[in-house]
Structures are given as structure tokens and as C-alpha cells.
């Protein structure tokens, strides 16, 4: 981070209007100048091959798309799921958002049901970490303290918020769709919707085989960015607040070779030393991010640092994000290795294939959302306080606003 200016840090605290609390880092310095393109290029019309015809085409293989494809196939439809990367799970796997947020209410009752439960039920014990069912809703201070350090207790109550192995989740999601007869199309990027009689009836997509088309009776846009409905001309809204955690972006990473119990004990039991450590981290790294637990004691999850002012829809911004993220990972690995109890033998593992940019925010100023993010943030805060888990609500809310 040597040539970077020192980033400004904004602390976002939980409040009536803020669902997530976090540091948000701001810097305007860019590694590369803006691209120098001007004018336009008229792409010639051409005939392209039709790759497939189906009842339902789901575009985007994240949690929403996987659930949508599974449900449509269950209802008897001939379903295709198209995904630009090589796996299912979207941000929850490729983005390393491996912490499935609260599925229980404050009494410990599981309020997220359906597909999410079916998926988790198939996870092997070694691929899932979280409190035993008997402890969901427990207010026992010892249990709440233990699980509070491990992302599975808040407000002094233990909840069901497991962390999981992303590779197992990719595999289970894939097998569940194949069992239902869903045709998977990986490494294919939906580029242009095919619109007929005011409805989307397929997409033109790009792959190594070139440009091809899929025709469908129904198209479900689960790209997370609204690529299909936005390009089809549907209305959408954008908003940005540079100081809101929902509008910041980052690419997550994990470090292996960690003794997480040792790190957590240091953080909890040695507050003065921890404060000195964190201050040193900020001084040395600028963008400083402490870790979360993962599904294993020897793997630490870093879901940041969260950078504001970058748009998920701007290729220069996304390039900037990745350049910085590659550096963050190495500088954090080096710093933790040298200074953090429990990280003496840490090593870097493959970084997330896709940036976290949904509700925390790659959103940015150009985020195409059919509903306002600020409103979602407020609604989430209300639901959180009311004891409803956000995960299912989010999935439903998003689905209901997509084509
Ligand atoms: C710490 C943390 C905790 C979180 N907890 C929760 C939670 O509990 N509940 C929750 O709902 N959310 C949570 N989130 C947010 C979570 O990451 C998203 O809600 C979730 O991933 C959204 O799923 P999705 O399928 O809508 O989108 P995504 O996961 O973004 O999936 C979209 C998929 O579409 C693909 N795609 C995009 N464009 C195209 C294209 N043009 N052509 C082909 N494929 C395309 C992408 O590659 C991706 O696989 C959390 C985030 C963080 C950081």
C-alpha cells in the first residue's frame, strides 16, 4: 500500500437506519488512468445460432438463481440455468460470503425454511460450523459470549447463523439442480435480452463458442445486478451514500494455517494489546480488516476492507477494486503473520472469484436496483429488530422485483 494515500475511515454504526455496522474506507487515488475511448462503434447485425429452447431460463447461479431453478424444475418446467462463472452459489460461494446470516428469531425458532434448509441439511458436518440446535435462542451468557465471537450470537442470544465450506456448497447446489433435471450452462455471460411483445423471451449470451441465443417462455433475472431487466428497458433505481456500508465494495479472502481459537482469545481477553495491534494495523496498512471465523478453526475469513465510491457497473472501478484487493490480501497476510497471535503459520489461499457487491455494496453510485437500497437498509433494520431473519426476506424481496 506504499504509494496509496492514507484512506479516510468512516465508522458506520448500527442504528434505526443502518442494518450493518462497519468501517468504510474512502480514497480517490486510482492506479490506472480512465480508459481513453471516445465516440461509438456501430456493431453490424448478424445471424447467431440458437443454442437451446426451454420453458424457464434462469440467468445467474447465485442463491436466488439456484433456488429459482430448483423450484421451477420441481414444478415440472424444462429449466436452463446460465452462470458466467464455473460454479453455483454466487456470492455465497465464489464471493466467500460463507456466513449464512441469522435463520432463527430471537426465541431460537427457525424462521427461514424451504430450499435454504434443504441445502444446509445436505452439508456434511465437517463443512458446517455453528451452534447445536439445542442452543438456538439460548441467553446463557457463556454460550452467547462463545458464539458471539463466532458470528452466531447477537444481543446476548445464540442464533443459527452457520459458516460453511464454499466448495461443498457449490457441489451440493449443483447436484440438487442436476437431480431435478436442470440444464446447467457455465462460463456463459448473458449479454442482451430477447424482447418480444413487451416481455423477455430469451437472451443472447457470450461464451468461448461466440455469441448464441437461448429462447425461453419465462426468463428469471437473478444476476444480482439486474443485467437482464435493465437491458430490457425495465425501470430501475439507483442510489449511493458513500458513508453507507451497503454502498462499499470489496473482494473477500481467507487465510489458512490459522489458530482461530487463539486469535479469538487474544481479541477477547487482551483488549489493550488488541487495541494496540489494531492501531498498528491501521498505521501500516491503511485499509485494515480484522478476520471472522470460518467453517474451520484453521481458516480465517476477511470480508473486507470495504471501499466506497466504486461502482459494480463500471469496468475501471472493478479493475481498481481488484488491483487493490490483491494487494490487501498480501499485506494483511504479511501483517497478521508478523503480529497477530494465532497467525504465526498463516498462508494465503485462493481469493474470492467475485467481489462482494450486493447489499454491503459494490452497489455504488450506478447500482441498478428496482427498489432503493436506502429503503432496503431501513426495512432490514426494522425486520432485524422485530426478530425476523433477513436472509429469506432478502431473497423474497429480490425475487419479487425481478423479471
Ligand atoms: C457477511 C455477509 C453476510 C450476508 N448474509 C446474507 C444473508 O444472510 N442473507 C442474504 O440474503 N444475503 C446475505 N448477504 C448478501 C449475499 O451475499 C447476497 O444476498 C446473496 O449472495 C444474493 O444472492 P443472489 O443470487 O441474488 O446474487 P449473487 O450471489 O450475486 O449471484 C448472482 C449470480 O449471477 C451471476 N451473474 C451476474 N451477471 C451475470 C450475467 N450477465 N450472465 C450470467 N451470470 C451472471 C454471478 O456470477 C452470480 O453467480 C451477506 C453478505 C455478506 C457480506
Give the phi and the psi of residue 131 in degrees, each rounded to 5.
Answer: -65, 150
**What is the predicted pLDDT for the residue at 403?**
27
- Residue 11 host element (H or E): strand 8-12
Distance, in Å, from the CA atom of 339 to the CA atom of 343, rounded to the nearest integer, reads: 8
Helix (H) or strand (E) holding 58: strand 50-59
Say how many Å lie between the CA of residue 42 and the centre of ligand 1: 33
pTM for the predicted model, two decimal places: 0.86
**Quick one: cell of 34?**
480512465
- E strand segments, 230-308: 248-249, 253-256, 300-302, 307-308
What pLDDT is stored for residue 4 in this prediction? Answer: 55
- Reported as a single tens digit per residue, the pLDDT across 299-344 is 999 987 888 878 888 889 889 889 988 888 999 999 999 999 999 9
Binned at pLDDT 50, 70 and 90, residue 349 comes out as: confident
User: Residue 184 is inside which H or E element, if any?
Assistant: strand 183-185
Instruction: State the Cα–Cα distance between residues 268 and 274, nearest whole angstrom.
Output: 8
pLDDT of residue 394: 34
Query: Where residue 385 falls among pLDDT bands split at 50, 70, 90?
Result: very low
Q: Which atom of ligand 1 is nearest to the CA of 87?
A: 49
From the CA of 298, how far away is ligand 1's center (Å)? 26
Atom index in ligand 1 nearest the CA of residue 82 equals 43
| Complete domains list, the chain, with CATH | 50-124+163-238+372-400 (3.50.50.60), 239-370 (no CATH)
Q: Which atom of ligand 1 is nearest to the CA of 393?
A: 11
Q: Is 182 helix (H, G, I), strand (E, B) or coil?
A: coil
| Residue 200 cell numbers, joined | 423477455
Q: Where are the beta strands (DSSP E) in 257-364?
A: 300-302, 307-308, 347-348
> Is the distance from the beta carbon of residue 62 to the nearest atom of ligand 1 less than 6 Å?
yes
Our mutation pick for probing the ligand 1 site, out of 90, 112, 203, 220, counting the most ligand atoms within 8 A of Cβ, is: 90
pLDDT tens-digit profile of 25-43? Answer: 777 778 888 899 999 999 9
**At residue 383, does pLDDT exceed 50?**
no
**348 near 253, Cβ under 8 Å?**
yes
Which residue's alpha carbon is nearest to atom 37 within ligand 1?
223
Q: Is 195 exposed, middle or buried (CB count within 10 Å of its CB: 0-12, 13-18, 19+)?
A: middle
Nearest residue to 351 via CA among 261, 254, 245, 284: 254
Amino acid at each position: 500500500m506504499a504509494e496509496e494515500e492514507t484512506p479516510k475511515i468512516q465508522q458506520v454504526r448500527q442504528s434505526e437506519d443502518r442494518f450493518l455496522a462497519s468501517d468504510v474506507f474512502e480514497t480517490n487515488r486510482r492506479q490506472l488512468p480512465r480508459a481513453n475511448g471516445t465516440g461509438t462503434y456501430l456493431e453490424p447485425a448478424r445471424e447467431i445460432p440458437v443454442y437451446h429452447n426451454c420453458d424457464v431460463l434462469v440467468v445467474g447461479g447465485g442463491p436466488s438463481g439456484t433456488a429459482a431453478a430448483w423450484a421451477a424444475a420441481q414444478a415440472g418446467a424444462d429449466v436452463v440455468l446460465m452462470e458466467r462463472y464455473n460454479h453455483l452459489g454466487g456470492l455465497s460461494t465464489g464471493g466467500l460470503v460463507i456466513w449464512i446470516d441469522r435463520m432463527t428469531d430471537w426465541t431460537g425458532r427457525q424462521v427461514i425454511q424451504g430450499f435454504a434448509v434443504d441445502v444446509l441439511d445436505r452439508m456434511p458436518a465437517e463443512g458446517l460450523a455453528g451452534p447445536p440446535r439445542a442452543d438456538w435462542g439460548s441467553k446463557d451468557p457463556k454460550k452467547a459470549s462463545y458464539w458471539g465471537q463466532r458470528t452466531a450470537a447477537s444481543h446476548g442470544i445464540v442464533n443459527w447463523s452457520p459458516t460453511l465450506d464454499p466448495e461443498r456448497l457449490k457441489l451440493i447446489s449443483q447436484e440438487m439442480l442436476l437431480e431435478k433435471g436442470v440444464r446447467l450452462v457455465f462460463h456463459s455471460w448473458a449479454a442482451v435480452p430477447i424482447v418480444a411483445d413487451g416481455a423477455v423471451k430469451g437472451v443472447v449470451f457470450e461464451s468461448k463458442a461466440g455469441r448464441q441465443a437461448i429462447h425461453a417462455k419465462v426468463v428469471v433475472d437473478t444476476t444480482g445486478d439486474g443485467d437482464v431487466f435493465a437491458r430490457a428497458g425495465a425501470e430501475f433505481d439507483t442510489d449511493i451514500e458513500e458513508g453507507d456500508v451497503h454502498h462499499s465494495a470489496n473482494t473477500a479472502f481467507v487465510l489458512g494455517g490459522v489458530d482461530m481459537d487463539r486469535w479469538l482469545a487474544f481479541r477477547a481477553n487482551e483488549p489493550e494489546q488488541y487495541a494496540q495491534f489494531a492501531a498498528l494495523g491501521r498505521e501500516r496498512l491503511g485499509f485494515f480488516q480484522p478476520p471472522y471465523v470460518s467453517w474451520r478453526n484453521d481458516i480465517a475469513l476477511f470480508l473486507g476492507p470495504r471501499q466506497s465510491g466504486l461502482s459494480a457497473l463500471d469496468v475501471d472501478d472493478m479493475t481498481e477494486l481488484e488491483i487493490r484487493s490483491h494487494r490487501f490480501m498480501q499485506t494483511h497476510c504479511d501483517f497478521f503473520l508478523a503480529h497477530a497471535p494465532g497467525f504465526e503459520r498463516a498462508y494465503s489461499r485462493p481469493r474470492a472469484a467475485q467481489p462482494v457487491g450486493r447489499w454491503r455494496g459494490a452497489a455504488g453510485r450506478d447500482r441498478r436496483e428496482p427498489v432503493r437500497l436506502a429503503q432496503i437498509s431501513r426495512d432490514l433494520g426494522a425486520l432485524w429488530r422485530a426478530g425476523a431473519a433477513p436472509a429469506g426476506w432478502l431473497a423474497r424481496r429480490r425475487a419479487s422485483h425481478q423479471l
